[in-house]
Amino acid sequence: MRLKLRRSMVRTVALVTAVALPLAFSPPASATTIDVTDVLANVFATQIKGSNVKKHLDRFQEIANANGGNRAAGTPGHAASLAYVQDKLRKAGYKTSTTNVEFPLNWEELSPSVLQQTAPEVKTYANPADYVTVISSGSGDVTAQVQGVDLIIPTPPAPNTSTSGCETADFAGFVPGRIALLQRGTCPFIDKATNAKAAGASGVIFFNEGQEGRTDPLLFDISEWRFGFPIVMASTTVGLDLADSPNTTVHLKVDAKTTVGQSKNLIAESRWGKADQVVMAGAHLDGVPEGPGINDNGSGSAAILETALKLANVPTKNRLRFAWWSAEELGLLGSDQYVAGLSAAERAKIRVYMNFDMIASPNDVTFLYDGDDSDAEGAGPGPAGSAQIEKRLEKFYGKRHLPFKGTDFDGRSDYGAFIANGIPSGGIFTGAEGVKTAEEAAVWGGTADAPYDPCYHADCDGITNINAAALDRNSKAIGYATAYFAYDLSSIPAPAATLSKLAVKPAAQAPEGAAV
């Protein structure tokens, strides 16, 4: 036992010396062509072994087995997973904390909703022929003037044309207290309602855009229960009727109740580095109720845990912060609520955020988030600095002659809140329910015309649903990138340059659970 302990201590001291001392005394960049940080980050990457990462996955599987077969947010399986990770981190010397995460358990209407025009005409609209209550709507009983927001009338010939309410600028001149009338179109309904709330709306009436097949009331879940005002979805006919007069007044009432559950995020911060220069890596710890969630996302969670443990005794120039998010599968709630709870000053301290969600898919492709939008697909580039994260990861794979390709910031994982707040972001993803192309199979092997992860969100996402080679190489890449930025943020623009919210093209695919 003592001999084993001495060997462990020798390895730790050697690693600390190998990484810390050369960085402390390395000459300025102008005096050498060698990127010392890159060299030593590559040395550190060799300390991250897929076999050790798998040990954490084995434990997640055991936890799922003992807790109903899953590790979903709000369940004993998730709580036990968090306890396991937190115990490892505390013993390694990290300062750990948790933040509360709320999520909706159940939404129900307690009595029928009401939509009536009271001026300039008096008429009552019928549910569900003329309108429906939006699932997750807040309660409220409001009589107020309707104000249309950036509507396209007459109806545009092509669907998904209207950008009504998609931008905060659409609400310039909106009178607080009025009910916002919003047209279906390019962006998720949740974005429209969020902008309406910020403008002081007392309620929201959506209406269908108007093309063939898009005229009836649309029943959907807006996936946000904290708006605090009534929300309904009307037909195109009703929407145009309400928009017909600038003085239209309506009585809008929704009587509903949301039962809220709670879970927790886990945050770990290193003892070393500048507190205002934070390098952050995150992965969601929760899975879906249908299965153990070992690839999605035990894989990312285990990889950043192993990285954190190996870096625990390495003095770094910049502060390291690791996050294990909860309720990602319920709509990115853990990361969203965490970022929303930070002050602007605290957000500005986060110089880099890297997200690792599904890094060992059985039929994998190495996707790197397209920080510079060089693929010109879907959303635009990430905040300034995101391209440098992508290039840093490319450097790791390129040095090893390993293939990689870009993937869009499509809003389906926990980088979303960071991007929306101007924080440079990037990460690795090996594919979910998408289908592998013949071209990808020729490069990465595996099976063409089959899902990257055939067990995505299924009960078979267990310990046998892991590609060991992908787990090893991508865990090493995570260790490399984390160690590099722990010492060198010179390529990342100063926070002042990234504080404004990101303007992006409409995403090719809306976040899970979102409707447009």
Structure tokens at 136: 């997750």
- Closest by CA position to 104, among listed 317, 329, 423, 274: 329
Q: Tokens 């810390």 appear where?
A: 20
- Closest by CA position to 306, among listed 329, 328, 283: 283
**Would residue 167 show up in a list of annotated catalytic residues for this protein?**
no
The type of residue at 278 is V
3-state secondary structure (DSSP) of residue 92: helix
Residues 6+ apart with CB under 8 A from 139: 230, 254, 255, 256, 257
- Closest by CA position to 307, among listed 87, 102, 76, 44: 44
β-bridge pairing 231-234 and 203-207: parallel
Report the distance separating Cα 210 and Cα 395, nearest Å.
49
Contact 458, 291 (CB under 8 A): yes
Tell whether the torsion through CA atoms of 362, 363, 366 and 367 is positive or negative: negative
β-bridge pairing 350-356 and 367-369: unpaired
Which of 269, 328, 329, 390 is catalytic? The answer is 328
- Closest by CA position to 131, among listed 190, 197, 208, 62: 208
Contact 507, 411 (CB under 8 A): yes
Residues 6+ apart with CB under 8 A from 35: none
Q: Give me the DSSP letters along 352-418.
A: EEEEE-----TT---EEE-TT-TT--SS---STTHHHHHHHHHHHHHHTT---EEE---S-STTHHH
The type of residue at 403 is P
Longest dimension (CA), the chain: 88
Contact 188, 515 (CB under 8 A): yes
**Cβ neighbour number for residue 240 with a 10 Å cutoff:** 18
Report the distance separating Cα 106 and Cα 108, nearest Å.
7
What is the C-alpha radius of gyration for the chain, rounded to an integer number of angstroms? 25
Active site residues: 328
